[in-house]
A = this chain, B = another copy of it.
């Protein structure tokens, strides 16, 4: 039989109340006593029964995903996966909700986060650009006892709080390698398109992409990144311009998160056919484009995995447990027509 808190109390030579105090981090226990209990935990290999603990807590777990208000298909995928998880996990006493924060107005976003109370939220997964206001809001939430984790868009390199998403530099490198190998040994240039080069993910992808192409494929030249700012008209214009200015474009790398508009405009401008094209994130648009033959590959991160991983990590933090690193590493998936 696995040891229970009762066994633990015996082993440590303290009462159940003290064990409870130590286990749940309540105040009013001497350092010495804490150590006694922790030693006993080690010694008898005690592991709290999470099933019983969750039941006794009355309140299950409630997690919130703070997502940007602006977004397109990939964001919708994430939201769908959250809803799916929520309904599937009611029986496990875990709730997952979405709140939207304004990514244009960091102050408003931060205020929004400040409204969350530890009373009704156990943890927050946040997808937001890295601004001082957001960083501050996160810090204060943690002080209030709410667990946090950045999602998809990294918040500085504070390794200690973790991060759920792919290594964007490696993702860019992957795109670069595929681009070069698919093009073969022809000579020419490659177009790179993204929403904004301000975002850290864009920067990192570009670094990875260039790293491969410049170092290993002298036959290819990567043109300066074109920014769409998510604006359809602008996207159309810069695509037209690029194609007029550079007659030797062999490939296009849609580096941004949302490829729907660039794909549409590219299709209209006739710049896609007969070129090697790679985009990010599987969505209805990119999936269709793969099937059409308009896209040669999609670099993807599984939104379902993102969501579940974020929740597992948040929960582990709540319960002061470690997570399975192997399970939480988000894969950089390469999708082609055949393995969709």
Contact = CB atoms under 8 A, between A and B. Distances in A.
Residue picked from A47, A54, A327, A338, most chain B C-beta under 10 Å: A338
Interface string A56-98: 0000100000000000000000000100110010111100000
Contacts of A2: 90
Given A52-B55, A333-B334, 16 more contacts: A2-B90, A49-B55, A51-B55, A51-B92, A55-B55, A81-B326, A88-B324, A170-B338, A171-B339, A174-B336, A178-B336, A208-B338, A304-B327, A333-B333, A333-B339, A334-B339
A47 B302 CA distance: 28
B338 A174 contact: yes
Contact of A47 (B90, B185, B332): B90
A324 B84 contact: yes
Contacts of A324: 84-85, 88, 304
A321 interface: yes
Interface residues of A, number: 48
A24 interface: no
Interface string A36-59: 000000000001111110110000
Nearest to A50: B91
26 contacts: A47-B91, A48-B91, A49-B55, A49-B91, A50-B91, A50-B92, A51-B55, A51-B60, A51-B91, A52-B55, A55-B55, A81-B326, A88-B324, A173-B338, A174-B339, A177-B336, A177-B337, A177-B338, A181-B182, A184-B185, A302-B331, A304-B327, A308-B327, A331-B331, A334-B335, A334-B339
